[in-house]
């Protein structure tokens, strides 16, 4: 459950005129060196009296640079000497991934109107009363207040016994999520999914962590279509072509296991299927960079790189978090490019849970203070795992 300025390099107009003074030639090569370009100069004769610079198409590993031609009047030349045309071809290696991200972002805005069946706007249904939990089931401490708990500043690093308990909680969460996915079909209400999830969790002797957390009224989050996250189950029936994220967290033996997945309901359009596939791949790529000593910012970099290849946007408002005996704690896991300091530690557990959209990453929240939708009404997709940092990598705990 969720809690750089780009510098666009543009070459100044480059000109090499055969009769320019040595001073201007020196200045020209200073500019070339300063911009860290590797340039090659080719000479070609022509009867024209102006310099025209052309840019050659670049490969995927280079940045395309163009400059407009400069025109010189023959009157600016001294004596009766004639002028020649020089052609400069510049092959420039990309200095960083930021320029490519900026280019992709511009193209993404143009492609944001991809053709898919626009779903009717999400409307809130009737929310049924909170389901009871047997007295014998241990409950998390935040139930003593309806206020949203403060984010714990402590990173959750476990000993061998804690790791065993984390594995058990996360494995249960994964089984519940898989079961919930089997219930997704047209005409089923999200309230029915909530009831089934609630029953399975308490039968396992666990507590559904979202229930009562900051006043949340249900045992699971169900986010349909344009809902980014924290959707409250209600009487709305799922429709053919819907997508739904189900976010399950269980509290078992004093430890929380947290996971989510986006499911297809009936016949879903191909553009939505692609968004779902890429979002899950983003999660996998974020996990792949995790290990003892790795910096947290690598997660956002890797997720952003993959999402931008397909023109998708990464939501910045909602983040991953530490999880264990406390539901939400440091470290905050940013899914977009960032410079947040900090490194991972062996034995640490946290979630990675990127949300991708086809268009805007801006959002609006309903008066219930939980349900959050994309501002443009476009679809949003999320996947989430709880992971354990090891010496050489990361163990995905929310698998079964």
Distance of CA 129 to the CA centre of its chain: 34
> Annotated binding residues for a divalent metal cation, as ranges?
247, 258, 321, 353, 384
DSSP state of 343: B
Angle, helices 190-203 vs 160-182, to 10°: value is 140
> Annotated binding residues, as ranges?
230, 247, 258, 321, 328, 353, 384
My answer on whether omega of the bond before 331 falls inside 30° of 0, hence cis, is yes
HSE-up (13 A, CA, CB side) for residue 284? 7
Give the whole-angstrom CA distance, residue 4 versus residue 338: 8
HSE-up (13 A, CA, CB side) for residue 340? 19
- The DSSP-derived string for 305-336 is HHHHHTT-EE-SSS-EEE-SSSSSEEEEE--S
b (16+ CB within 10 A) / e for 355-394: bbbbbbbebeeeeeebbbbbeebbbbbbbbbbbbbbeeeb
Distance of CA 22 to the CA centre of its chain: 52
HSE-up (13 A, CA, CB side) for residue 127? 15
């Amino acid at each position: 459950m969720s809690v750089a300025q780009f510098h666009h390099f543009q070459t100044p107009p480059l000109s090499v005129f055969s009769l320019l003074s040595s001073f201007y030639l020196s200045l020209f090569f200073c500019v070339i060196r300063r911009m860290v370009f590797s340039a090659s100069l080719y000479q070609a004769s022509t009867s024209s009296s102006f310099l025209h610079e052309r840019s050659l198409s670049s490969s995927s590993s280079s940045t395309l640079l163009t400059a407009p031609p400069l025109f010189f009047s023959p009157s600016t030349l001294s004596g009766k000497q004639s002028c020649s045309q020089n052609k400069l071809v510049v092959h420039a290696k990309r200095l960083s991934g930021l320029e490519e991200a900026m280019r992709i972002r511009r193209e993404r805005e143009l492609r944001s109107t991809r053709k898919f069946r626009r779903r009717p706007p999400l409307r809130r249904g009737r929310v049924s009363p909170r389901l009871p939990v047997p007295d014998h089931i241990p409950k998390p401490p935040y139930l003593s207040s309806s206020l949203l708990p403060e984010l714990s500043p402590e990173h959750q690093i476990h000993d061998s016994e804690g790791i065993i308990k984390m594995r058990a909680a996360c494995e249960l969460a994964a089984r519940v999520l898989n079961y919930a996915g089997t219930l997704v079909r047209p005409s089923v209400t999200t309230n029915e999914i909530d009831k089934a999830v609630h029953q399975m969790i308490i039968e396992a002797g666990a507590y559904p962590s979202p229930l009562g957390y900051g006043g949340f009224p249900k045992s699971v989050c169900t986010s349909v279509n344009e809902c980014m996250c924290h959707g409250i189950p209600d009487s709305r029936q799922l429709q053919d072509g819907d997508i739904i994220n189900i976010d399950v967290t269980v509290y078992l033996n004093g430890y929380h296991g947290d996971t989510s997945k986006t499911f297809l309901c009936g016949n879903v359009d191909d553009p939505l299927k692609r968004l779902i596939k890429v979002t899950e791949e983003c999660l996998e790529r974020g996990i792949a960079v995790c290990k003892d000593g790795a910096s947290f910012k690598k997660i956002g970099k890797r997720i952003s790189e993959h999402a931008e290849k397909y023109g998708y946007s990464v939501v910045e408002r909602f983040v991953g978090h530490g999880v264990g005996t406390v539901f939400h704690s440091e470290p905050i896991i940013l899914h977009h490019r960032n410079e947040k300091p900090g490194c991972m530690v062996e034995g640490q557990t946290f979630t990675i849970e990127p949300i991708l959209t086809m268009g805007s990453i801006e959002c609006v929240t309903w008066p219930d203070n939980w349900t959050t939708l994309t501002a443009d009404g476009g679809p949003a997709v999320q996947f989430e795992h709880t992971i354990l940092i090891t010496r050489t990598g990361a163990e995905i705990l929310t698998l079964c």
